[in-house]
Structure 1
Amino acid sequence: MIIRAAHGADAGAIGAILSAFIDDTPWMPRIHTRAEDLSFAGLMVDRGWVRVAERDRVVVGFLALNEGFVHSLYMQSDVQGQGGGKALLDDAKASSERLALNVFQANTDAQRFYQREGFVETGRGDGTGNDENLPDITYVWTRTAKEEPQT
């Protein structure tokens, strides 16, 4: 799996991955059209926030990071659990001292993943702070001395 910066041509794949998660997740409301998902993906790419996981020249996942906040981390369902999400997160950790993110309380798989990757819960929200109006949890990761990047 290759981790690289996203470019404009990746927006379609990124939007499709995001839309598929929404469509395949029973508790996730669809509040934007697929076209809006694609537009949002293009916006994140244009802002330079996105790194993608690529397998056999196909984008299979992405992570959007801005100023230490992970806005999105999604993998295609057929490659979940194969290390791509961890690789994207490790890539973000390599260039950061601290990362923060929000996870929906209903997304217990993501909670376990982030906890396993060293994130600690720092707060809970009732959903008024996100577009979906779903209760969420804030997690933070801070680099420790043993995690210092090797030079």
Structure 2
Amino acid sequence: MTVTLRPARSLDAGAVGEILHGFARENDWMPELHSGAEAIAFCGRMIDNGWVTVAEQGGKVTGFLAVDGTEVHCLYLSPAARNQGIGTQLLDSAKAGRRELVLYAFQANTSACRFYERHGFVEVARSDGADNDEQLPDIRFVWRRKE
């Protein structure tokens, strides 16, 4: 099925929020700090800020990426959309026109860490999680365009 990437619209907040909230529900190591409604409201704010690109298949939002400047805040896919190259398409869209991207990934999210490393991100720091809402150890990754 064809994937279309496009800027998120306000009406996408529900689908984007459900993908984000679903991630917390499907991973035992991830604390569920917010309700589904709070996740939707948070995603609505990111959309209003112009940070969000969605991946759409068959008219349905199946993933999203939120980038503010050079900082990747979120990259999540619905379970059915994983392992199809959609995350790569979203990440490549963020890399286009930028010289650098930075992001944090939870150490427990080993599949995400491997994904970012495969796409040229390099680990530059680790933390004990004291500075994130979830209080989970994380890794700071940086990608820089090769000149």
Sort the TM-score into its range (normalised by shorter chain): over 0.9
Match of 2:110? Answer: 108
Match of 2:74? Answer: 72
Q: For residues 74 and 133 of structure 2, what CA distance do their matches in structure 1 show?
A: 14
Equivalent residues in 2 for 1:77-92, closer than 5 Å = 77-92=79-94
TM-superposed CA distance for 1:66, in Å, is 0.2
**Runs (4+) off by over 2 Å:** none
Match of 2:40? Answer: 38
SS at match of 1:31: coil
TM-superposed CA distance for 1:96, in Å, is 1.1
TM-superposed CA distance for 1:33, in Å, is 1.1
Q: Unaligned 5+ residue runs, structure 1?
A: 146-151
Equivalent residues in 2 for 1:1-151, closer than 5 Å = 1-145=3-147
Q: List per-residue Cα deviations over 1:96-117 (Å, max 9, x = no partner).
A: 1100000000000001000000
Give the alignment's TM-score, normalised by structure 2.
0.97
SS at match of 1:52: strand
Paired amino acid for 1:127 = G
SS at match of 2:37: helix
Q: Unaligned 5+ residue runs, structure 2?
A: none
Give the alignment's TM-score, normalised by structure 1.
0.95
Q: For residues 125 and 111 of structure 2, what CA distance do their matches in structure 1 show?
A: 18
Paired amino acid for 2:105 = V
RMSD: 0.6
Q: For residues 120 and 50 of structure 2, what CA distance do their matches in structure 1 show?
A: 25
TM-superposed CA distance for 1:95, in Å, is 2.3
State percent identity of aligned pairs.
Answer: 50
